[in-house]
Amino acid sequence: MAAAGSAVGLGNIWGFPTQTASNGGAAFVLVYLVLAFCLAYPALMAELIIGRHGQANAVASLQKLANNQFQKRFAFIVGFGGIVCAGLILSFYAIVAGWMFSATLEPISVIAGTEQATTWLSEQSLSRDLLFTAIFIVLTVSIISKGVENGIEKWSKRLMPALLFILFALIAYVLTQDGAMTGLKAYLVPDFSSILNPSLLVSALGQAFFSLSLGTSVMIIYGSYISKQENLVSLGAYVTLIDVFIAFVAGMLIIPAMYVAQAQGVEIFSASGELLSEDTLVFQVLPALFESMGSIGIYIGFAFFALMSIAALTSSISMLEAPVSYVVEKFALARIQATWLIGFIVSVVSVSIIFNFSALFGFVVQLTTQFAQPLLGMLCCIFAGWIWHRGKLLKEIKEGNESVENTLFWKVWPWYIKFVCPLAIGLVFINSL
């Protein structure tokens, strides 16, 4: 459940619908689904298995597979690269999560009738972003300084059903509104001619890896916390299914809601059909939707954004756990010191992004999600497929899952991550160049 909590987050409800809207709708959805199951799931399994075998932080787990000095150095680059990537992701993630916080408080300020506060909460500004980003980072740090086991599973377990319930209720409402059917069509009926568009492919690949928290060493460290009695193959499949399902359902809400908002006069597209507010799309569309519901919309808006904030937290703690577990084991630092130290470094990067938003935000998002994550995820597949002794790899898969030998996974996965995953990910990159 903690791994699912890491996977389900802003990537599903902010990232996926925004990417879908800026990459032409249903064609993106289709490519995303294919890549999530055919490339991201196998890569997730590689990371979980490496972690469970290593029983240590990401660098040490990867180094355990190395057979010589050269491979050891390579393991360091992949593991440490993932850790840095997780920290960078956290630095922009905290900003978006801060937007979720302010959207949660906005309905409260409306009920309280404090107009000034409502205006401040609803408009992007330096003061607002700095404050809520800081609160989010401090919250993440305080949870992680106590260790991952405490409470994360409990939160994740309650979160998913609540999130799905509210998403379905909102979809039912949206679909009765004017303009929704055009949106639904844009979401579900693909234009096949754009499916092989290089930039669509890279975006979908990046989104799939981002959504499953891959290439950040997060799933390696979470893998190391999974007991040898667990069936990893089905555990990974559940995480993927839950994650993809929630993203798909979120898109079913937000894409039609975009068209409904457009019909109600909110400006979503420019005259040439481009999205006007790429990063903040969700924050334009959803508040408009809640407002259109009348007085009950305030409560629903509050509940929705509060749930999103929790979902963001169960993801951000996994991002912070990646560097913290490394520093604690490597430098024998107390957990609490390591956590505050890394939290501080992340905050410095966040603040730099906030002050140079238009130059840095998109750049960091792209660098980490579209470039670093698929690349590092691919290197984990190469580790499992080419460097790890095959017999030992198979033995690890068998732990907790004696009957795995009769499954398709057993027959296909080892050569699949050896050849297909690296090749396919490499091709998407080369194609985009």
The footprint of ligand PHE (CB under 6 A) covers 6-7, 9-12, 86, 89, 210-211, 213, 216, 218, 315, 318-319
Residue nearest to ligand PHE (CB): 11
Closest approach, Cβ 96 to ligand PHE, in A, equals: 9
Both tokens of residue 21?
A: 């809207």
Closest approach, Cβ 218 to ligand PHE, in A, equals: 4
Alpha helix stretches (DSSP H) within 264-356:
281-292, 296-331, 335-355
Distance separating alpha carbons of residues 385 and 397, to the nearest angstrom: 13
Distance separating alpha carbons of residues 211 and 8, to the nearest angstrom: 7
H or E stretch at 417: none
Residue 213 or 325: the one with the smaller Cβ distance to ligand PHE is: 213
Of 272, 279, 197, which is closest to residue 17 (Cα–Cα)? 279
Distance separating alpha carbons of residues 369 and 376, to the nearest angstrom: 11
Indicate the DSSP class of residue 225: T
Closest approach, Cβ 211 to ligand PHE, in A, equals: 4
Residue 104 or 315: the one with the smaller Cβ distance to ligand PHE is: 315
Distance separating alpha carbons of residues 357 and 375, to the nearest angstrom: 25
Closest approach, Cβ 213 to ligand PHE, in A, equals: 3
Closest approach, Cβ 311 to ligand PHE, in A, equals: 7
Of 320, 311, 246, which is closest to residue 100 (Cα–Cα)? 311
Residue 16 or 74: the one with the smaller Cβ distance to ligand PHE is: 16
Residue 392 to residues 57, 190, 415: CA-CA distances in angstroms?
A: 19, 43, 15
220-223-229 Cα angle (round to 5): 155
Residue 133 or 315: the one with the smaller Cβ distance to ligand PHE is: 315
Closest approach, Cβ 61 to ligand PHE, in A, equals: 16
Residue 118 or 211: the one with the smaller Cβ distance to ligand PHE is: 211
Residue 215 or 385: the one with the smaller Cβ distance to ligand PHE is: 215
Of 6, 2, 11, which is closest to residue 92 (Cα–Cα)? 11
Closest approach, Cβ 365 to ligand PHE, in A, equals: 11
Residue 177 or 217: the one with the smaller Cβ distance to ligand PHE is: 217
Closest approach, Cβ 3 to ligand PHE, in A, equals: 10
Distance separating alpha carbons of residues 93 and 84, to the nearest angstrom: 14
Which residues make beta-bridge pairs with 43? none
Both tokens of residue 41?
A: 């799931």
Both tokens of residue 37?
A: 């199951």
Residue 262 to residues 180, 248, 297, 385: CA-CA distances in angstroms?
A: 10, 21, 18, 49
Residue 261 to residues 68, 148, 163, 300: CA-CA distances in angstroms?
A: 59, 40, 22, 17
Residue 36 or 200: the one with the smaller Cβ distance to ligand PHE is: 36
Distance separating alpha carbons of residues 433 and 430, to the nearest angstrom: 5
φ, ψ (nearest 5 deg) of residue 219: -75, -20
Closest approach, Cβ 16 to ligand PHE, in A, equals: 8
Closest approach, Cβ 313 to ligand PHE, in A, equals: 11
The number of helices, as runs of H, and strands, as runs of E, in the chain is 22, 0
Closest approach, Cβ 338 to ligand PHE, in A, equals: 18
Residue 49 or 393: the one with the smaller Cβ distance to ligand PHE is: 49
Both tokens of residue 260?
A: 């409904």
Residue 197 or 318: the one with the smaller Cβ distance to ligand PHE is: 318
Residue 117 or 166: the one with the smaller Cβ distance to ligand PHE is: 166
